[in-house]
Amino acid sequence: MSANKESWGSRVGLILAMAGNAVGLGNFLRFPVQAVQNGGGAFIIPYLVCFLVMGIPLLWIEWSMGRFGGRFGNHSTPYIVDTMGKHRLWKYIGVFGIWTNIAVAAYYCYLESWTLSYVFHSILGTFNGLDQEGVASFFDTYVSIGDSTLGIPYEAVVFYILCLLLNTWILSKGLSGGVERVAKIGMPLLIVFGMFLAYKGFTIKAGEAGASFDSAVGLNFLWTPDYTQLWSPTVWLAAAGQIFFTLSVGMGTIHCYASYVRSKDDIALNAMSAGWMNEFVEVVLGASILIPISIGYLGIDRVQELVQQGGLGLAFKTLPFLFTQWGEVLGAIAGVMWFGLLFFAGITSSLAMGTPWIGFLQDEFNWKRKPAAWSFGLIVLILGMPTVLFFHYGVFDEYDYWAGTVSLVVFALVETILFAWVFGMDRGWREINSGADIKVPDIYKFIIKFVTPVLLLWVFIGSLVTPKGGDWGKALSGDWVLDDSSIINKIKNSSLKRQLAEATDPAIIEQLQETLFFVNASRILLISVFLGIAALVYMAYKKRVREGRI
């Protein structure tokens, strides 16, 4: 018998926990940068289309699969997936739902620890008196292992371990006593903090508190539509990728959370509520803070330069400087609110990543909650430490690409086919509507069966063979050269190998060789963890056979 007897304390707590799982650092750091890079206001069109035809259907699919598997006492994806199809290999497809969460948590908790560190530095006034370049240098110093900004040896490692201990301790308290309680506190605080900063972003006036431009300049820059990009497959791929990233679909966490609801509880409205809450935070709050405030103080040219470096550089290397322009007291408050907001967004997501592993150990090996939670923390610590120690060698980016991007698309594609074509769309439709508090539009039966899997297949193939520079027109005309961002060239390390072949400086050659080594080593480590989990799933299968549960 399983030791897993947990359940959610309330519907509100479940919805907030689900929303917290979706609302993460991508809402505030990634979305505004994606919008700027892919057509501004025009980006919202493919983004909303992808939300409606991929995001919402996948939310319903994963909630339904989770609740269905939960009826049979399954609370992790290998055996939730196994209940949907008769072939014994399905359970090994479900390994993605545990592996992805462990691998993502390994680097996500490091990113989360940056926000926790910046909360402390905002309180201490570390950024007071620093210019923008000084703040940027602070970040580079922080992630350089051995350097310290507080006089603490290996400061980045200390905050990473502290953040991981906090996650593990909360997970050990259970769903209602830990995860749900944090969601009930964290999500409202996140929205309050976000609304305060969005208000500041909307009310920036040129010449006040050091601002160079009104808020309208930043908002116009972000939302002025460039319709010429609307027909680019690259933009649609970016929109689809953002939907996956922001809703946390294709990971297995939603299955796990939904497996703890009662068999007749509503899932249709719950899924919609969590999904639209995430969209509000992302489109309304996320788009009103980072870009408008940055442009108000730095100007469009500087922000465009930083946008090309990605959202992390823009958020951590600029906003602490901008907040100090509001005065020491208000600047400290804003810093605590901004990085506190990011921390709450991060921890409500990282907590969700621990539940599939914990549920698996409880179901299959009769582990108690606390040791299962602490085993998750230990595994993430071991797997995640290379992202901290070798951050500048691309390990962090490798984890993010393979676990936080590619695997999401692969698993989402497979689970959609399983739900609509193996389990059967008629049975699946009844499962979605069972106990529903809303009438799900009938058009979604067609969308889930045909549109969603076709679009997912298109996203995967497009990522697999992305043409150079994203020039699909040239590629389709016969001149198809793979871009370095394509999955195929990523596997071949084409970019690194070309840089190595062109390099003449011995120091640069040595650095590239080290980077190539760590990139390949990180992939071997990720594959080893996947195979290890698959072996545990096999052991669980044999245990079920011995106990007569199969």
pLDDT single digits (tens) 431-444: 999 999 999 999 99
Q: Which amino acid is at 102?
A: I
Tokens read off for 162: 């502290």
Q: Cα–Cα–Cα angle for 94, 524, 106, nearest 5°?
A: 65
Contact 440, 433 (CB under 8 A): yes
Residue 1's pLDDT band, with cuts at 50, 70 and 90, is: very low
Q: Do 343 and 112 contact (CB within 8 A), yes or no?
A: yes
Looking at the structure of the chain, the number of domains it has is 1
pLDDT value of position 446: 97
318, 67 contact by CB (below 8 A)? no
Asked if residue 4 belongs to a domain, the reply is: no
Q: Which residue has the higher pLDDT, 301 or 14?
A: 301
In this predicted structure, the answer to whether residue 415 has a pLDDT above a threshold of 50 is: yes
| Partner residues linked to 467 by β-bridges | 482
Place of tokens 């899997």: 453
CB-CB neighbours of 346 under 10 Å: 27
Domain of residue 438, residue span: 11-547
Q: What is the DSSP string of 351-399?
A: HHHHHHHHHHHHHHH---HHHHHHHHHHHHHHHHHHHHHTGGGTHHHHH
Domain for residue 1, yes or no?
no
Name the pLDDT band for 10 (thresholds 50, 70, 90).
low
Looking at the domain assignment, is residue 408 inside a domain? Answer: yes
**Could you tell me where the DSSP H helices lie in 203-232?**
215-223
What would the pLDDT profile of 463-487 be if each residue is shown by its tens digit? 899 899 878 888 889 899 999 989 9
Max distance between CA atoms of the chain, in angstroms, equals 75
Residues above pLDDT 70, as percent of the chain: 94
CA-CA distance, 22 to 244, in Å (whole number)?
10
d(CA 33, CA 303): 10
- Among candidates 399, 406, 278, which has minimal Cα distance to 348? 278
Assess whether pLDDT exceeds 70 at residue 19. no
Contact 100, 393 (CB under 8 A): no
Please give the average per-residue pLDDT across 500-507, as a whole number.
95
Cβ contacts of 381 within 8 Å, gap of 6 or more: 161, 164
The rounded distance, in Å, linking the Cα atoms of 371 and 251 is 23
pLDDT confidence tier of residue 36, bands split at 50, 70 and 90? confident
CATH code of the domain covering residue 402: 1.10.4160
Band the pLDDT of 310: cuts 50, 70, 90. low
When mean pLDDT is compared across 139-143, 145-149, 181-185, 342-346, the lowest value belongs to 145-149
pLDDT at 146: 66
pLDDT at residue 422 tops 70:
yes
Distance in angstroms (rounded) separating the CA atoms of residues 496 and 484 = 9
- 10, with CB counted inside 10 A (0-12, 13-18, 19+), is exposed
Establish if 288 belongs to a structural domain. yes
Q: Flag whether pLDDT at 324 surpasses 50.
A: yes
440 and 270 Cβ atoms separated by less than 8 Å: no
Per-residue HEC secondary structure of 515-534 comes to HHHHHHHHHHHHHHHHHHHH
Query: CA-to-CA distance for 357 and 373, rounded, in angstroms?
Result: 8
The span from the CA of 484 to the CA of 218, in Å, is: 32
For the chain, report the end-to-end CA distance as a whole number of angstroms.
13
- pLDDT tens digits, residue range 505-550? 999 999 999 999 999 999 999 999 999 999 999 999 999 999 988 7
SS3 151: coil
Residue 427 CA to residue 440 CA, distance in Å, equals 15
6 is a domain residue: no
pLDDT at res. 312: 64
pLDDT in tens, 279-291: 988 988 888 888 8
Mean pLDDT of the chain: 89
Over range 486-490, report the average pLDDT. Answer: 94
Taking a C-beta distance cutoff of 8 angstroms, is the pair 121, 115 a contact? no
- How many CA atoms lie within 13 Å of 380's alpha carbon, on the beta-carbon side? 33
For residue 258, how many other CB atoms are within 10 A of its CB? 27
Q: Which amino acid belongs to residue 351?
A: L
Nearest to 119 by CA among 348, 339, 344: 339
Selection from 184, 155, 227, 174 nearest residue 16 by Cα: 184
Give the number of other CB atoms < 10 A from CB of residue 450.
12
Element (H, E) at 105: helix 96-124
For residue 2, is it within any domain?
A: no
pLDDT surpasses 60 at 9: no
Which amino acid is it at 450? Answer: F
What value, to the nearest 5°, has the Cα angle with vertex 365 and ends 361 and 366?
Answer: 90
| Packing angle, helices 506-547 and 96-124, rounded to 10 | 130
Tens digit of each residue's pLDDT (9 = 90 or more) over 328-373? 899 899 999 899 888 888 888 888 899 999 999 999 999 999 999 9
Can you tell me whether residue 467 is helix, strand or coil?
A: strand
Q: pLDDT tens-digit profile of 364-406?
A: 999 999 999 999 999 999 999 999 999 989 999 999 999 988 9
Is the pLDDT assigned to residue 178 strictly greater than 70? no
CA 37, 39, 44, 46 dihedral sign is: negative
Averaged pLDDT, 315-323: 86
Q: What is the dihedral of CA 355, 344, 155, 325, to 10 degrees?
A: 160
Q: Tell if the pTM clears 0.75, that is, is over it.
A: yes
What is the spatial distance between Cα 505 and Cα 121, in angstroms, rounded to a whole number?
38
Q: What is the pLDDT of residue 173?
A: 87
Q: Is residue 204 scored above 60 in pLDDT? A: yes
Residue 271, classified by CB atoms within 10 Å of its CB into exposed (0-12), middle (13-18) or buried (19+), is: buried
Mean pLDDT over residues 159-178, rounded?
87
